[in-house]
Amino acid sequence: MRKIIYKILILLSVIVSSGFSFSQVRCGTFDYENYLRQKNPDFGDALDKTRRESINANSINYKNDDETIYYIPVVFHLVWNTPDMNLDDSLFHSQIKTFNEAFNHNHKDTNKIRSIFKPVAGNARIIFYLAKKDPNGKPTTGINRVKTKKGDFGNNLYAETVKYSDEGGADAWDPEKYLNIWVCRFTYNGIMAVSAYAFPPVNAKYWSSSYYKDLELQGVVVNYPYVGVKNPNDVMQGSMREKTLIHEVGHYLGLRHIWADKNNCTGEDDGFKDTPLCSKQSTNCQANKNTCNEGSGDKPDMYENYMDYSAYPCTIMFTQEQIKQMRWNLLNLRPKVGSTKIDNSIPASESVYFYPNPASSQIKINVDKQGLYTIQLTDMLGQNIDKAIFNISESYQYKYNISDFSSGIYQIKILYGSKTVVNQKLFIQ
């Protein structure tokens, strides 16, 4: 593996010296893909085939599965050198919250989506949470802090060595079970040219290259100022800030940039009919920007899309077709990462049920009989978190406060007397 890594670095330096412009680069995924295509033509063929197949499959076979919510455990490998890089826990928590706002379409700014695009904005119904167990089954915060002697993993546009402990980084946790996000410092000639990049989904069954099947590279790498809300290290005006990682997770789930990394209005598109054709990225909320005229029904460029480069206040939506593709890819190309799924549509009992799920501050428990009820809340390791008893006399509804519990998946059991009437998972955001 080490030999391959060094080959990567050599090839990357070729790309850089051949005139790669980094002045406006925020996301390195497209260039990373191009590098992989150069390295092995099979990669490009397979990636294109995967994209075509998944787009076809989701448009042909997609069934309305609106009620299913997929859960993705996340581990942040914080590989830090100087104290400013040793980010506070709160930044990781706020990043997870940002993910869940984006992938559940409940960002406070969704009302700012222009009316022309509101009909195609959608809810991806994917929930992210900090991993509760490490690969050995031991409890974890989902933040893997690794102090390193390396002050910089860059001097090229990528930072693949951060994925190896023997290179001063951190080894991946099983990428079939976790979304790995490496946080480190990586620069090119002292400039933080790339905010972050993602490994595109490649584990399709026909993936022939032995190297690109290697799972330990799967995930996202991000420069440390671009994690969390109000990261004190992010001094760049107009950057994507905490939206950077939303964009990268979009790549991780198989989405392309909405302008398909081209500079014209012809040729390959991003594959989705509900993202207007455009020839270049946006940088801010430019309402009148319309780089490609599509004739009748022409729409302006969709700066609201997370897969654009617009500054952080602008990006507030995924489209329904993007969502279909992410969900298809999650099921088919990253099946184990998203395997924790909860059918939210069926209450455990027709007469006793709670909502909402996921929830952040309280859940409402509706019951059909008066009397004493007991709530038992346990974490996924089976440890008791809370027990509450409530008496229903008139309202037939009890409001259970969950704001003191950290985000994650819990098991909630509700008993009426000694009879269990609810026993299901509860996700606390």
Q: Give the interface with Zn ion as residue ranges (CB under 5 A).
A: 27, 29
Nearer to Zn ion, 12 or 258 (CB): 258
Smallest distance from Zn ion to CB 294, Å: 23
Nearer to Zn ion, 30 or 405 (CB): 30
Smallest distance from Zn ion to CB 23, Å: 16
Residue 423's SS3 state is: strand
Segment (H or E) for 414: strand 408-416
Q: How far is CA 3 from CA 9, 159, 332, 418, in A?
A: 10, 15, 31, 62
- The string over 265-304, giving b where at least 16 C-beta atoms fall within 10 Å of a residue's C-beta and e elsewhere, is eeeebbbbebbbbbebbbbebeeebebbeeeeeebbbbbb
Closest C-alpha to 327, from 58, 104, 99, 67? 58
Smallest distance from Zn ion to CB 28, Å: 8
Nearer to Zn ion, 226 or 354 (CB): 226
Residue 251's SS3 state is: helix
Nearer to Zn ion, 27 or 184 (CB): 27
Nearer to Zn ion, 167 or 301 (CB): 301
Where residue 378 falls (left for φ over 0; alpha for ψ -120 to 50; beta otherwise) is beta
Where residue 6 falls (left for φ over 0; alpha for ψ -120 to 50; beta otherwise) is alpha
Q: How far apart are CA 255 and CA 251, in angstroms?
A: 5
Query: 32 - beta bridge partners?
Result: none
Q: How far apart are CA 398 and CA 410, in angstroms?
A: 19
Nearer to Zn ion, 25 or 75 (CB): 25
Smallest distance from Zn ion to CB 414, Å: 44
Nearer to Zn ion, 26 or 93 (CB): 26
Smallest distance from Zn ion to CB 64, Å: 29
Smallest distance from Zn ion to CB 200, Å: 10
Q: How far apart are CA 308 and CA 316, in angstroms?
A: 10
- Name the residue number minimizing CB distance to Zn ion: 27
Smallest distance from Zn ion to CB 212, Å: 19
